[in-house]
Amino acid sequence: MINENITAILIKIRELEKQLEEELNARQEALSYQIRNHRVRFAKTIRKLHRRQKVGLLRYLRSARLGHVLTAPVIYSLIVPFVLVDIMVSLYQHICFRVYRIPRVRRNDYIIIDRHQLAYLNAIEKLNCVYCGYVNGLIAFVREVSARTEQYWCPIKHASRVLEPHSRFSRFLDYGDPDAWREQLAALRKDFDDVQEN
C-alpha cells in the first residue's frame, strides 16, 4: 500500500522516536524520579527541594496579572463542551468501531494527568495542570479516533500539504488515483495491524 520510500522514512521516524524515548528516560533518571503504578515517585531530597520552591497561594494571587484572572472563567467554562465531546466520542467509538472492526483507541494513552503530583506547584497551578492535561489529552484522543475513522471511510491524501498530519495519514491513498481507491480501499479499511485493541 505504502510505497518503499515512504516505508523507509516511516522506519527512520520510528527509530528516532525510540531514540527520543531513551533520551527522555535518561532525563527522568537525571531528575531523580520513577513511575510506579501510574504514580510519580521522587527521591526524598528532591521532594523537599520541590516543596521549598512552591509559591504560596496568597503570594501567587497577589502577583497574578489581571488579564489572567479575568480570562480564567472563559477558559474554565470550556470544560462543559469538552466533557460532552469526551462522552460523545467515547460512545461513538465503542459503538461504531465495533461495527467497523476498527481497534478502539485507549483513552488513557492520551489523557495523562500527573503534573498535580509535583510538590512545587500550588493548588491553583495544580488545578491548571489537571485541566490542561485533560483538555490536551482529550484533543489528542479525539484526533486519533477521527484518524482511524478517516482511514476507514475516506483514506485519500489531500492534494495540498497537511501541516501536521495525523498518525494514519501516511497510509492513505494518493490523491487522484482512482485505481488505488477501487482496488485498495477494502484492504486499507482492515489495515490496523500496527495498533492494539484496548
Mean pLDDT (10-residue bins), the chain, 198 residues? 75 86 76 74 78 83 89 96 98 97 96 90 94 98 98 95 92 93 94 81
CA triple 42-48-49, angle to 5 deg: 95
Distance CA 98, CA 103 (A): 8
Q: Is residue 147 part of a domain?
A: yes
Q: Is residue 42 part of a domain?
A: no
Q: Is residue 4 part of a domain?
A: no
99 residue type, one letter: V
Q: Is residue 17 part of a domain?
A: no
- Domain total in the chain: 1
Helix ranges (DSSP H) in the chain: 4-30, 44-52, 57-63, 66-77, 79-92, 98-100, 123-153, 178-188
Q: Is residue 170 part of a domain?
A: yes
Q: Is residue 95 part of a domain?
A: yes
Under a CB-based contact definition with an 8 Å cutoff, are residues 115 and 121 in contact?
yes
Q: Is residue 29 part of a domain?
A: no
Distance CA 127, CA 67 (A): 18
Burial class, 191, CB count within 10 angstroms (exposed 0-12 / middle 13-18 / buried 19+): middle
pLDDT at 28: 67
pLDDT at 54: 85
pLDDT at 131: 97
pLDDT at 198: 53
Under a CB-based contact definition with an 8 Å cutoff, are residues 141 and 159 in contact?
no
Give the closest residue to 107 by CA, choosing from 82, 131, 84, 134.
134
pLDDT at 2: 60
Q: Which domain holds residue 111?
A: 56-188
